[in-house]
Structure 1
């Protein structure tokens, strides 16, 4: 970076996206983010007016990135499924660590470390009691691991000395999917904040086995992917993250699923008659909490997703520290069609990318 120090508060005071096109970022390749859109020029039509024009101009090239934040909402990776000799279901996955530059806002690039070439990594989904087997290949330039938030043996913990993998090498993690809930995985190599912030994390969803929960069988079955009860639901995974583009340990970009304002430019379509379930995970580094606020509605919240009854009822805002996660359930059945905002309730995060819209039809 030349001439002046780039920080997020100076960025906001100087007009945000206009400043970004006037200065260079040492961590970005010729960053060229422009001034905020106007409603007349916005490809998103009236969305700029709804958000007070606090959105980025232009489009991120998702094909070049190799991942699309809209597809990420629902692209569950259920693995290669087979049966062990004892009848237990086996799910096998392959995850590869890759150094890769990604576009996190129009014209703004970030030198990421990725799982399978994307940030966040693949959204792994299994059922309670399944055997999980993950072959982890390190094709990156630093040592990395896969640390799963769940129950497993010490030798499968994915920390230095237990599953850490050097560049060019591989390791296989194996454990049972326990407990059910909304979990995550991430790299646990040191320095930890750098490996997480650079993009090495992803969702790990374990559906409850309804047969294990007869007292809450309907609720358990509604979460079981592939069941008739689950098909009623509109389910989405949302990983809240941030990007420190000049490595001063303050984020300049905030997002859900890595691309600033992705769901303003392309609002998430909801069918009014069907209930909504969000698997929400916070992996934001350098900020003590992140949050989600839903406009014009309220939701039930299941902290960590490890219960089948809500831990919070009828709330419209939830806060999560890093690695905290949970499940939100709500409905727009009694609402008129239209666009409904949801966003962080830290205003700075909103202005720097964490603003989204539902399109209720």
Structure 2
């Protein structure tokens, strides 16, 4: 086991879920519980979806162990990965990354565990950030139990597309490859595994945000990345747990702080599998929306709800006029 592999995966239980194997059938249940407890949890999961309605009064009891998971949804909001930066002989900025795929059991709601496939031990994977025109070089290593790839949304040569039949195609367990291309266009993009079956590899957790900043930059703002995702805990082709950045209801339990009058920018990505669309609704304010983030002028102005298809993304910009809930000396 390499040092890089140990960094992400050594503290967790490894899962071997071969397609059609007995262990994959076990993995389709909620791990670490009796059959009756699993049935109850799955039933309650559906109940929580229907009861956590528009008024936002419902949430799950208990807390997720983020230290055990190895990642924290609050940190994911602002955890930008700019890579290892150097200059090519041409003067072009080079950003180098190492991304490892591996199988990890993660807690997606209090007491509910999911046999995930991950990039760098987290779901979503690292938020790759760069500037338009930068050279991106990704060393991808597969420590998982199935073939995987990385497919970046953006402009790049065919052989760098990370799909079966292009370039190296699927990267088998124990293998590695290099993806290299210039980052374009600017915008809010994503990357994900494109190995087959595609929906299985995505819903198991192999995806992340890919943010490309325009050369001229954007107006200063407090920035967050929000990846809307969901989990099919009983593997019946329908989601039981819905979340932003993986842990259900986490931002109800620990609010995201903001200041009155402060410009807020949200990089919003929908990677929810098994549902054709997902929506984002903002309470008490309206926002401007930049579809795919590829323009410097809003594509929609003064709206409070946006719908995104699978893999669609965009940028929201807004500021609050009124303070929210007081927590100690902090007004949220």
TM-score by length of 1: 0.76
Residue of structure 2 equivalent to 1:68: 72
Matched, 1:172 2:159: no
Which string of whole-angstrom CA distances, capped at 9 and with x for unpartnered residues, describes residues 91-124 of structure 1?
0000000100000000000000000000000000
Provide runs of 4+ in structure 1 moved above 4 Å. Answer: 31-36
Which string of whole-angstrom CA distances, capped at 9 and with x for unpartnered residues, describes residues 48-86 of structure 1?
xx732x210000000000000000000000000000000
Residue of structure 1 equivalent to 2:156: 152
Residue of structure 2 equivalent to 1:241: 229
SS in 1 for 2:257: strand
Q: Let me know the Cα RMSD of the aligned residues.
A: 2.1
In 1, the alpha carbon distance for the partners of 2:56 and 2:164 equals 45
Matched, 1:335 2:322: yes
In 2, the alpha carbon distance for the partners of 1:292 and 1:92 equals 33
> How many angstroms does 1:273 deviate by?
3.1
SS in 2 for 1:268: coil
C-alpha contact (below 8 Å) 2:124/2:245 kept by paired residues: yes
C-alpha contact (below 8 Å) 2:42/2:240 kept by paired residues: no
In 2, the alpha carbon distance for the partners of 1:336 and 1:153 equals 48
Residue of structure 1 equivalent to 2:209: 203
In 2, the alpha carbon distance for the partners of 1:329 and 1:308 equals 11
**TM alignment of 1:36-185, pairs within 5 A:** 51-52=56-57, 54-161=58-165, 162-163=167-168, 164-185=170-191
> How many angstroms does 1:29 deviate by?
1.2
Residue of structure 2 equivalent to 1:190: 196
Greater Cα shift, 194-203 or 26-35: 26-35
In 2, the alpha carbon distance for the partners of 1:115 and 1:25 equals 19
Matched, 1:296 2:284: yes
In 1, the alpha carbon distance for the partners of 2:27 and 2:86 equals 48
TM-score by length of 2: 0.83
The 3 A distance-change label for structure 1 pair 252 and 221 is closer
C-alpha contact (below 8 Å) 2:77/2:226 kept by paired residues: yes
> How many angstroms does 1:272 deviate by?
1.6
In 1, the alpha carbon distance for the partners of 2:215 and 2:319 equals 24
C-alpha contact (below 8 Å) 1:35/1:56 kept by paired residues: no
* Runs of 5+ unmatched residues, structure 2: 1-25, 45-54
In 1, the alpha carbon distance for the partners of 2:236 and 2:226 equals 26
Residue of structure 2 equivalent to 1:30: 32
Matched, 1:251 2:239: yes
* Runs of 5+ unmatched residues, structure 1: 1-23, 37-49, 211-219, 223-229, 340-358
Paired positions, count: 288
In 2, the alpha carbon distance for the partners of 1:107 and 1:154 equals 43
